[in-house]
Amino acid sequence: MPASLIVFFLFVAATLGITVWAARHSHGASAYFAAGRQITAWQNGFAIAGDFMSGAAFLGIVGLISLQGFDGFLYSVGGIIAYVTVLLLIAEPLRNAGKYTMGDVLAYRFRQRPVRALAALSTLTIITGYMIAHMVSAGALVNLLLAGSGISYNTAVTGFGVLMMIYVVFGGMLATTWVQIVKAALLSSCMVVIVVLVLVHFDFNLGKFFLRPVV
């Protein structure tokens, strides 16, 4: 069995372990939707960062920069714009509302049915586009990293979909938060290692690094 496959299954086993642990500790709506409101700001920050360090960020932005250079880099700046916008215009007014979802907050002030229907519709519309891109990148990643493992593209896409659903349905917010924290920590440390390796390749000379793709 190749090393990459072992690492992959270890990660799946660890995240499923977190889900089982979370399912045992979650009882009631507050526990399921808000992890019993026990997640600290730092933990939540890492979890949200983990959300952003997804297939789109790691494969997409790296690919864009390698193909388009600075234009690709411009795209990655958009990520932080989204954070500040969400912080000031959405998170700040909702922070002390004591609700679970944005739909809950809107429904509190307006007529319930149309607001909830629209909130659900917009969520599903965004998620459809977002999920398809991520399922495709998950399948492509398996093809690339676990080549020769016998896992086909279709199996990978279906398998990832089922795994995500298990995390959320059984573990609720507690499991998804911890899975994202583990992911953020793993990806951040991998990224530091890759940056150091790339710099070693260019003798720690940024000038050399910037000139390389042009030459």
Window 67-106: residues binding another protein (CB under 8 A): 70, 73-74, 77, 80-81, 83-85, 87-89, 92, 95-96, 98-99
Q: Is 34 in the site for another protein (CB under 8 A)?
A: yes
CB closer to another protein, 95 vs 111:
95
Report the nearest approach of another protein to the CB of residue 209 (Å).
Answer: 8
Contact 103, 119 (CB under 8 A): yes
List the x/- string, 160-179, binding to another protein by CB under 8 A.
Answer: --------------------
CA distance 150 to 112: 49
CA distance 16 to 5: 16
CA distance 191 to 125: 32
CB atoms within 10 A of CB 187: 17
Number of Cα atoms under 13 Å in the Cβ half of residue 131: 13
CB closer to another protein, 62 vs 89:
89
Q: Is 204 in the site for another protein (CB under 8 A)?
A: no
Report the nearest approach of another protein to the CB of residue 214 (Å).
Answer: 9
Kindly determine how many residues on this chain lie close enough to bind another protein according to the rule CB under 8 A.
24
CA distance 42 to 40: 5
Which DSSP letter does residue 37 get?
G
Contacts to another protein by CB under 8 A: 30, 34, 37, 70, 73-74, 77, 80-81, 83-85, 87-89, 92, 95-96, 98-99, 206-207, 210-211
